[in-house]
Structure 1
Amino acid sequence: MVKGIGNWLVKHSESLPERLAVVYNEKRFTYAELNERVNRFANALLSLGVRKGDRVNALLLNTNEMLESMFACAKIGAIFVPINFRLSVDEVHYIVNDSRGYHLIYDGRMKSLVDQLRTQNSSLQEYIHVGSDPHKEDSVYEDLIAEANNVEPEFDIFLDDIHLMMYTSGTTGRPKGAMLTHGNTLWNAINFINAIPFNYSDSTLTVAPLFHIGGMSVMTTPLLYIGGTIYLDDQFDPNRVMQKIHDERITSLFLVPAMWQALTTVENFGAYDISSLQLAVSGGAPCPITVIEFFQKREIPFYEGFGLTETAPFVCILDRENTLRKNGSVGKAPIHTSVRIVDPLDRDVPSGEVGELIVNGPNVMVGYWNKPKATSEAIKNGWFYTGDLAKFDDEGFIYIVDRKKDMIITGGENVYPIEIEQLLFRHPNIREAAVIGCPDEKWGESIKAIVSLKNNSQQLSVQDIETFLNGKIARFKIPKQVEIVEALPRNATGKILKTVLRQKV
């Protein structure tokens, strides 16, 4: 009988019982200890009325309780719904009610947010508190574990059962719950270990948020699948990350581009021994080429990948052998995933031409929760339509050109903001850059660059930008407007919120 991803811990607790599984601050759990805690919490959830198919909401940071809760739900067939704790109470309330969750596991540091949530009419009936100072009516996480038994839950779990529901960022409207199965997470892990060189002796530092598919499943679940070690950190600080790699001899690291960029600003970068780091992966948004070059010069194997919540997330990755030769590409699809690039009539476009990237494979979600129309629009004949514009080169390497919705049409010409942004990143005084289209009576849209500066005492004008870009790109691609801001708006996963920028136009 297939037991789903919960069976990973069972197997490792039998074959690798003393191997270190999860580390959070001073807490260190072997696979045997982790499996026992997961079993106890799974049985506690059953005693609280959780049943197969129920959605269990969570407002948790990158702690051992986050992973334990997910695996506990997996063992009893419940669906784990991690929620971005940086959202407003109204946004959290929407997700809770949309998912129809009756149970909420929350970190005590979220107490203010949860107290506001209690005052709203929601589907929640049971609150489980992690940490100290719980509400008098709440269950306490560690008490539940201490009081529950360690018997292995016996449930019929299959690979097509849903175990995880992650809500998309909602940058274009209300967030949607992407339903990911045990099979999606399993095949994502298999794709990773076929594409990148790591094994059970490896470790990773998970500091990208686990409520996001990148934090959960780029490194974390694939390493747990093969019996590696997960170090968790619930706050991102560049120096702290460098110190942890130095102290714990971390071998792999996934960060979103904004985090990688922050590491490049560490003043005493060379003082840390990070020679153990054999795998650096960026994803979640296009990584500035200047950042990739920074790590390549320091002989740190740097991989740029591309994926989405709906694909669990692995779609393609550029391997270390081609990072220099194919800079700017996101590589090729892994062995168990297929990709196509199509025109609006679903015809494959020739190499070098731009079309929409679509994905097929066992890593593609089964659909959006309670949204059949959105599901049918996104998945057609087994192919997931990403909304990303891309092209193949003559060797089959994939280049993400831009989001379909971000493309600018000026004077009948298609302009892809990423191309301009990558050049702006090379300007010596530009720290961040985003390019958007603005309504223009003559041209349809005109191009605007919004930048933050490294040195605010040295201002930039449109003419400065024009001079810098002149000869590097076609004249019609050069921004006609420039706005300087302190910082660009980003969501919790580091993506620049261009919808926010466009609203201000």
Structure 2
Amino acid sequence: MSNQLIAACRPSATTVEKYQKAGIWRTDTILDDLARWLDRTPDSVAVLALEDRHDVVRLTYREFAKYVTRFAGALHELDVRSGQVVAMQLPNRWQVGPLMLACAKIGAIFAPIMTSIRPRELERVLRRVNAAVCVTVDSWEGFDHSAALAGLTPTLPGLRHRVVLGDRVSADEIDFRAHFEQTAWEQTHADVLGEMSADPDQVAFILFTSGTTGEPKAALHTLNTAHATYMTDSVKIT
């Protein structure tokens, strides 16, 4: 599937108006929500997560927002642009949230992949979405994910960068901590990032089914369709 084809898959103006009128979709996004919480309570805890199963990571809204912008700058530095796909195969780590919102900020499409997926299925998924970047973990649950991804590189000409989160990063891989976490891209790319805003009706996520009854199938979601998933109030569509 080409990036142009994915980017062209957006709801019609009539559909957008219908769901906005019903109160299911909106004109702002989760990035606007983050900006509001940052303004109201910047030093409250936004994320509480385990790091390597024993260290607790606490991020305030101020810190979380900083990482969203920093990660967006890191992706922009890797020449990731609107409509391109950033795949991710990570366990449940705190970096996932900021990375997802960073993709939304620059208009990139976020494609999370389960850590249980192995090379044959991973190659199919990455090829299908034509991922420009894949972020993975060095190893998890006894499996060497970075080595598996490296072995697929010759079959994935569209994959420009392999990014690895962990302690083992080879010379032809990008160290997630060094490039994404420790480099202040929010300062060096402030002008470019300041001009970016998320489109609530652009394809923002590619989510794959489990594949238990066949090959995993890709479902396209916008920020609005994802937001509607979490709505709890009943609404009436006319």
Shared fold, TM over 0.5: yes
The residue that corresponds to 1:54 in the other structure is: 84
Counterpart contact for 1:75–1:153, Cα < 8 Å: no
- Seq. identity, %: 26
**109, 115, 118: which one aligns with 2:147:** 115
Counterpart contact for 1:4–1:182, Cα < 8 Å: yes
**23, 44, 48: which one aligns with 1:23:** 48
TM-score scaled by structure 1? 0.37
**162, 167, 170: which one aligns with 1:132:** 167
Taking only aligned residues, the RMSD between alpha carbons, in angstroms, comes to 2.1
**98, 121, 141: which one aligns with 2:176:** 141
Q: Answer yes or no: is 1:14 the counterpart of 2:19.
A: no
Amino acid at match of 1:114: S
**199, 213, 217: which one aligns with 1:172:** 213
Amino acid at match of 1:69: L
- Offset of 1:47 from its aligned partner? 0.6
Q: Which has the higher helix share?
A: 2
Runs of 4+ in 1 over 4 A off after TM superposition: none
Gaps of 5+ in 1: 195-334, 339-360, 362-505
Q: Equivalents in 1 of 2:134, 2:235: separation in Å?
A: 35
- Offset of 1:154 from its aligned partner? 2.6
Counterpart contact for 1:3–1:155, Cα < 8 Å: no
Q: Which has the higher strand share?
A: 1
Counterpart contact for 2:90–2:115, Cα < 8 Å: yes
TM-score scaled by structure 2? 0.76
The residue that corresponds to 1:479 in the other structure is: none
1:15-414 matched pairs, under 5 angstroms: 15-25=40-50, 26-110=56-140, 112-120=144-152, 121-122=155-156, 123-144=158-179, 145-150=181-186, 151=190, 152-189=193-230, 191-192=231-232, 194=233, 335-336=234-235
Summarize deviations over 1:85-137 as a string: whole Å, max 9, x none. 10221011110110100101112225723312322312322011112121222
- Offset of 1:23 from its aligned partner? 1.3
Q: Equivalents in 2 of 1:87, 1:51: separation in Å?
A: 26
Counterpart contact for 1:41–1:72, Cα < 8 Å: yes
2:144 is paired with a residue whose SS is helix
1:160 is paired with a residue whose SS is coil
Farther-moved stretch of structure 1 (163-172 vs 45-54): 163-172
1:452-491 matched pairs, under 5 angstroms: none
Counterpart contact for 2:146–2:164, Cα < 8 Å: no
Q: Equivalents in 2 of 1:148, 1:154: separation in Å?
A: 18
Question: Considering only CA atoms, is the larger Rg found in Structure 1 or Structure 2?
Answer: 1
Summarize deviations over 1:480-505 as a string: whole Å, max 9, x none. xxxxxxxxxxxxxxxxxxxxxxxxxx
Gaps of 5+ in 2: 1-26, 51-55
1:64 is paired with a residue whose SS is coil
1:8 is paired with a residue whose SS is helix
- Offset of 1:337 from its aligned partner? 6.5
Q: Equivalents in 2 of 1:117, 1:147: separation in Å?
A: 24
Q: Equivalents in 2 of 1:171, 1:146: separation in Å?
A: 39
Counterpart contact for 1:162–1:181, Cα < 8 Å: yes
Counterpart contact for 1:107–1:131, Cα < 8 Å: yes
The residue that corresponds to 2:23 in the other structure is: none
Cα distance 1:138–1:17, how it changes in 2: closer, same or farther (>3 A)?
Answer: same
Summarize deviations over 1:157-188 as a string: whole Å, max 9, x none. 32211111100112232211101101112223
Counterpart contact for 1:13–1:31, Cα < 8 Å: yes
